[in-house]
Chains A and B, each alone.
Chain A
Amino acid sequence: MLVFVTVGSTRFDALVEASISEPVLSTLRDSGYDRLIIQRGNSVIESSEEFNGDSCTIQRHGVDIEIWRFKPFIQAECEQADLVISHAGSGTILDVLRLGKSLIVVPNPTLLDNHQEELASALQILGHLKATSIQDLASTIASFEPRDLVPFPPFDGTKFSKLVDEEMGFI
């Protein structure tokens, strides 16, 4: 099974580092995930220079890992993936949920105006995703039950078009 980790185009070193750390990789392997693709965006991995190129492939703790700076088509990665772990950017969250994928988000605590946290917890309360922190990432993966998630409603353009039609006097 495949896990896809993305931080979009932002920089979130801690999430990328955590996803290749021993506890997370062991948990992933124990949960049946044997492949991991990471889009690190502008994050920097300090533990090894070779990870900071455009792409590299390694094997660690029984998991095949691909690390990319930017994947050209992350939609394809998301579609293949059985689980997506991402930063809590609203764009990424919407894209992943609309694809019907299981999603664990880790809000970036270093952001100054941290409304990522709000969005993540609001969506967790509605049951659409699981929000966690860097420290709890491994345990969250271990106890994660994709079947408990509530499917996110598909895009409904009629709500906005009706609003605009009302505003401009068409309705």
Chain B
Amino acid sequence: MSSCTTTLVFLFLFFCIRLFLAVFSYTRIRLASANPRPSQTCSIAIFLGSGGHTSEALKLVSALDFDRYSPRTYIVSEGDTFSAQKALALEHIKAADHAFSDDQPQYKLLFIPRARRVHQSLLSTPPDAVRSLLACMRFVSVRPLFTKGAFRQPFVDLLILNGPGTCVILCATIFLNRLIGLPSPRVMYVESFARVKSLSLSGKLLYHFTDRFVVQWPGLVQPGGREIYRGCLV
């Protein structure tokens, strides 16, 4: 009985320390050696949240150097064909510009269940959110363990989020990874251009849980806050 209690206390302490480290890690720059990149490329994942969020996210991605930021993973909600098509269209345009040399696919689409549909009743949201969370965990936490170089590489080097709902679940999974000490990507949240004076709900929820928090209007920058403002990015 007493050994069981001791184990529980140790586990509890372990999680407290991890929690502290995970939260703390957002406030300082992670050491470069913690996540060595094999070459001069950097893998990225982008969450395409549907409609306007998708357009903004893809506009952001289009600004990146596709030779450097490769491979690219587009995370799409199940059934969101609009976003999937838009992502493919962007890749086609970029491929035409660049004429990529190697035969390996430079991008992939990842479908995850929606956390909450528009106008969905609040009562039925939790089961869907759990389903979404489990799917995210599979991609973010479990699958990297069974690939080459496990425990060293996160599922991607950088995750770019632009809202809405489901991206909070995705970020929660990253946070869980940090809690238990699994490798995790850097997380960058870019608030929508539509947000001028106040953050969106996703923005408010993720404010303290992202490595970079970017806004597109100067009015959102608080003195001493962690927001970064570089003008309109989309």
Q: Mark A residues whose CB is within 8 Å of B.
A: 9, 89-91, 94, 115-116, 118-119, 122, 153, 155-164, 167-170
Residues of B within 8 A of A118 (CB): 195-198
Does B230 interact with chain A (Cβ within 8 Å)? Answer: yes
Q: Provide the bound-state CA to CA distance between A108 and B207, in Å.
A: 28
Assembled-state Cα–Cα distance A44/B214 (Å): 38
Please, which residue of chain B has its CB at the minimum distance from the CB of A10?
B51
Q: Are B230 and A163 interface neighbours, CB within 8 A?
A: yes
Minimal Cβ-Cβ distance residue in B for A123: B196
A163 and B228 form a contact (CB under 8 A): yes
With beta carbons under 8 angstroms apart, the residue of A94, A115, A119, A160 that contacts B63 is A160
Chain B, residue nearest A163 (CB)? B230
Q: What total of chain B residues lie within 8 Å of the partner, measured CB to CB?
A: 39
B 215-234 binary contact with A (CB < 8 Å = 1; else 0): 00101000000001011111
Say yes or no: B196 contacts A91, CB within 8 Å.
no
Give the residues from 135 to 193 in chain B that come closer than 8 angstroms, CB to CB, to chain A: 157-158, 160, 186, 188, 190, 192-193
| Chain A residues with CB below 8 A from B194, complex form | 89-90, 115-116, 119
| B19 contacts A by Cβ under 8 Å | no
Contact between chains at B196 and A159 (CB < 8 Å) = no
- In the bound complex, residues from chain B placing their C-beta under 8 Å from that of A167 are 158, 186, 188, 211-212
**Smallest CB-CB separation from A157: which chain B residue?**
B63
The complex places the Cα of A155 from the Cα of B233 at a distance, in Å, of 8
Query: Interface readout for B38-77 with A: 1 if CB under 8 Å, 0 if not?
Result: 0010100000000110011001101111001100000000
- Name which residue of chain B comes closest to A90, CB basis: B194
Contact of B62 with A163 in the complex, beta carbons under 8 Å: no
Measuring CB to CB, which residues of chain B are less than 8 angstroms from any residue of chain A?
A: 32, 40, 42, 51-52, 55-56, 59-60, 62-65, 68-69, 157-158, 160, 186, 188, 190, 192-198, 211-212, 214, 217, 219, 228, 230-234
User: Please, which residues of chain A bring their CB within 8 A of the CB of B214?
Assistant: 163
Question: Which chain B residue has the least Cβ–Cβ distance from A117?
Answer: B196
> Is B196's CB under 8 angstroms from A119's CB?
yes
Partner of B65, one of A115, A153, A161: A161
Report which of B63, B193, B219 forms a contact with A161, defined as CB distance below 8 A: B63
**In this complex, which of A91, A155, A160 has the most chain B Cβ atoms within 10 angstroms of its Cβ?**
A160
Complex alpha-carbon distance, A155 and B42, angstroms: 24
B197 touches A168 (CB 8 A): no
Query: CA–CA, A148 to B51, complex, Å?
Result: 31
Contact call B68/A170, Cβ cutoff below 8 A: yes
CB distance from B192 to the nearest CB of A (A): 7
**What would 21 A/B residue contacts be, using CB atoms closer than 8 Å?**
A9-B51, A90-B56, A115-B196, A118-B195, A122-B196, A122-B217, A153-B232, A157-B62, A157-B63, A160-B64, A160-B190, A161-B65, A163-B188, A164-B69, A167-B186, A167-B211, A167-B212, A168-B42, A169-B32, A170-B40, A170-B42
On whether A160 and B60 interact (CB within 8 A), knowing A90-B193, A167-B186, A168-B158, the answer reads: yes
Q: Which residue of chain A lies nearest to B218 when distances are taken between CB atoms in the complex? A: A122
The residue in chain A whose Cβ has the minimal distance to the Cβ of B187 is A167
Given the complex, which residues of B lie within 8 Å of A90, measured CB to CB?
Answer: 52, 56, 192-194
**List of 6 A-B pairs having minimum Cβ-Cβ separation, nearest first:** A157-B63, A90-B194, A118-B196, A160-B63, A91-B52, A160-B233
CA distance A94 to B233 in the complex (A): 11
Closest CB of chain A to B233's CB: distance in Å? 5
With A91-B51, A91-B55, A122-B196 already in contact, the answer to whether A159 and B230 are too (CB < 8 A) is yes
On whether the beta carbons of B193 and A94 are closer than 8 Å, the reply is: yes
Nearest CB in chain A: distance from B155 CB, A: 15
Q: How far is the CA of A118 from the CA of B193 in the complex (A)?
A: 11
Contacts of A160 in B (CB 8 A): 60, 63-64, 190, 230, 233
Give B188's nearest chain A residue, CB to CB: A167
Interchain CA distance A82-B156 in the complex, whole Å: 46
